[in-house]
């Protein structure tokens, strides 16, 4: 397999970088499918389902997307998801995202979904999973994009409710590859979900968790040591703890970083101060992802191009981030090699 030393990155000047970032094949490992609901689709589904939206129109809703922290976003994000009722709604939402992902040269994606956001409104887990899964099957067949699903537990709810959700989802075990932990981080440390993650591990599910988005390095440690997750979602607060940085680098624990999300949720005051470059310099398996693209101002390529423009990262880091996205994914080794070959081909001929 090629390494970063295979390529002469110096011949790719800054002007051509946006085109390279767009063209390179990549995996997206951190996106919430409910966070891909564009205002236009929210209003279309609201009309179709007779659900009322407390905003006059698309523009008024978009104007409300001014967030001061994670919670201020989550309040409006859960309200937006209330228009989703039928299997076809979940299919339409996922299909819209998958088409955009294909246009960004995303060749593989691992999509989070939040069943509790829907079961709380009386929508069956089966409705959610079947609609999303059908879109994944069609993405492979019609777009050549491989797509997997990761079920997330809402951490502001109890561990007992997480267990109930797992029970409801287990009849559809073949349609999702793993579990994650999302929603309000502060005050809800990973260890709150120790038992349910242990059970998921016994079941052979892959494990990830949001940690170190707004929360302290201690939450990243407990996601690793208590929940035994294989990837950390966000993890940008890890730079505050040198021992944690060493652990992440040594164990090659991927961090699924979401720069535009961090900007919109005021984790960093501006993109120029984002620590993506520092994470890469420290040898971490950092990746770039869109988190909730409909709310944060861009899909994955927008995250790449805006972050590179603001921070001065170059072609070497572009290759590394794409390579990291394949390394950090839950696909098998031969599929990873095939994607790496495609990546190297683009860099060799660009
Ligand atoms: N950025 C984020 N952090 C935590 N939970 C989320 N759910 C959707 N987006 C999220
Ligand atoms: Zn997230």
Per-residue confidence at 2, pLDDT binned at 50, 70, 90?
A: low
Atom 7, ligand 1: residue with shortest CA distance? 183
**Average pLDDT of the chain, as a whole number:** 97
Cross-strand bridge partners of residue 106: 26
Atom 4, ligand 1: residue with shortest CA distance? 183
Note whether residue 7 is domain-resident: no
Distance CA 47, CA 70 (A): 29
Note whether residue 5 is domain-resident: no
pLDDT digits (tens, 9 = 90+) for 156-180: 999 999 999 999 999 999 999 999 9
- Of the residues 185, 213, 214, 306, only one is catalytic, namely 213
Per-residue confidence at 250, pLDDT binned at 50, 70, 90?
A: very high
> Nearest 5°: phi and psi at 278?
-65, -35
Note whether residue 252 is domain-resident: yes
The whole-number pLDDT of residue 5 equals 73
CB atoms within 10 A of CB 268: 15
Ligand 1 pocket check: which of 291, 293, 295, 296 to mutate, most ligand atoms within 8 Å of Cβ?
Answer: 291
Note whether residue 290 is domain-resident: yes
Residues with CB under 6 A from ligand 1: 32, 35, 70, 77, 182-183, 210, 213, 261, 291-292
The whole-number pLDDT of residue 1 equals 52
Cross-strand bridge partners of residue 154: 182
Cross-strand bridge partners of residue 152: 180
Note whether residue 2 is domain-resident: no
Distance CA 248, CA 254 (A): 8
Rounded alpha-carbon distances, angstroms, from residue 81 to 24, 42, 155, 290: 32, 8, 17, 18
83 in Cβ contact with 49 (< 8 Å) = yes
Note whether residue 231 is domain-resident: yes
Distance CA 249, CA 285 (A): 7
b (16+ CB within 10 A) / e for 213-252:
bbbbbbbbbbbbebbebbbbbbbbbbbebeebbebbeeee
- Note if 19 is an active site residue: no
Let me know if 284 is exposed, middle or buried by CB neighbors in 10 A (0-12, 13-18, 19+). Answer: buried
Question: Is the whole model's pTM more than 0.95, yes or no?
Answer: yes
Which residues, by Cβ under 5 Å, contact ligand 2, an ion? Answer: 291
What proportion of the chain, given as a percentage, has pLDDT over 90?
98
Distance CA 332, CA 346 (A): 22
In the DSSP assignment, the letter for residue 81 is G
Closest ligand 1 atom number to CA of residue 185: 4
3-state secondary structure at position 159? helix
The whole-number pLDDT of residue 6 equals 83
Region of residue 100 (phi > 0: left; psi between -120 and 50: alpha; otherwise: beta): alpha
The whole-number pLDDT of residue 124 equals 98
Q: Could you tell me the residue range of the domain that residue 161 belongs to?
A: 14-348
73 in Cβ contact with 35 (< 8 Å) = no
Distance CA 9, CA 319 (A): 9
Enter the tokens of residue 3. Answer: 């390494």
How many domains, in total, are found in the chain? 1
Q: What is the CATH number of the domain that holds 66?
A: 3.20.20.140
pLDDT digits (tens, 9 = 90+) for 35-56: 999 999 999 999 999 999 999 9
319 in Cβ contact with 277 (< 8 Å) = no
HSE value, Cβ hemisphere, 13 Å, CA-based, for 204: 4
Note whether residue 3 is domain-resident: no
Pairing relationship of beta strands 26-32 and 206-211 according to DSSP bridges: unpaired
pLDDT digits (tens, 9 = 90+) for 64-109: 999 999 999 999 999 999 999 999 999 999 999 999 999 999 999 9
Q: What is the ipTM, given to two decimal places?
A: 0.98
Average pLDDT over residues 322-334: 98
The whole-number pLDDT of residue 147 equals 98
Enter the tokens of residue 122. Answer: 């009386």
Note whether residue 8 is domain-resident: no
């Amino acid at each position: 397999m090629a390494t970063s030393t295979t390529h002469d990155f110096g011949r790719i000047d800054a002007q051509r970088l946006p085109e390279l970032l767009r063209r390179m094949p990549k995996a997206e490992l951190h996106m919430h499918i409910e966070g891909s609901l564009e205002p236009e689709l929210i209003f279309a589904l609201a009309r179709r389902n007779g659900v009322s939206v407390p905003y006059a129109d698309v523009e008024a809703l978009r104007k409300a997307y001014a967030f001061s922290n994670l919670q201020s976003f989550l309040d409006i994000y859960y309200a937006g998801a209330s228009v989703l009722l039928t299997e076809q709604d979940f299919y339409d939402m996922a299909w819209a995202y998958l088409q955009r992902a294909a246009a960004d040269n995303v060749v593989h994606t691992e999509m989070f979904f939040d069943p509790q956001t829907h079961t709380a409104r009386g929508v069956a887990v089966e409705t959610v999973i079947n609609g999303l899964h059908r879109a994944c099957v069609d993405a492979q067949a019609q777009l050549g994009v491989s797509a997997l699903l990761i079920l997330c537990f809402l951490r502001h709810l109890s561990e007992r409710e997480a267990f109930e959700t797992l029970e409801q989802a287990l009849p559809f075990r073949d349609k999702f590859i793993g579990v994650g932990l999302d929603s309000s981080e502060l005050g809800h440390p990973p260890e709150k979900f120790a038992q349910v993650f242990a059970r998921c591990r016994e079941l052979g599910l892959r494990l990830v968790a949001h940690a170190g988005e707004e929360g302290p390095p201690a939450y990243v440690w407990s996601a690793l040591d208590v929940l035994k997750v294989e990837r950390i979602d966000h993890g940008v607060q890890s730079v505050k703890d040198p021992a944690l940085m060493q652990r992440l680098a040594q164990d090659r624990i991927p961090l699924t970083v979401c720069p535009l999300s961090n900007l919109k949720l005021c984790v960093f005051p501006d993109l120029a101060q984002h620590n993506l470059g520092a994470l890469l310099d420290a040898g971490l398996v950092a990746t770039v992802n869109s988190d909730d693209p409909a709310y944060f101002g861009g899909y994955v390529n927008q995250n790449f191009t805006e972050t590179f423009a603001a921070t001065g990262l170059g072609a070497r880091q572009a290759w590394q981030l794409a390579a990291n996205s394949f390394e950090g994914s839950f696909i098998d080794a031969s599929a990873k090699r095939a994607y790496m070959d495609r990546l190297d081909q683009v860099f060799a001929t660009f």
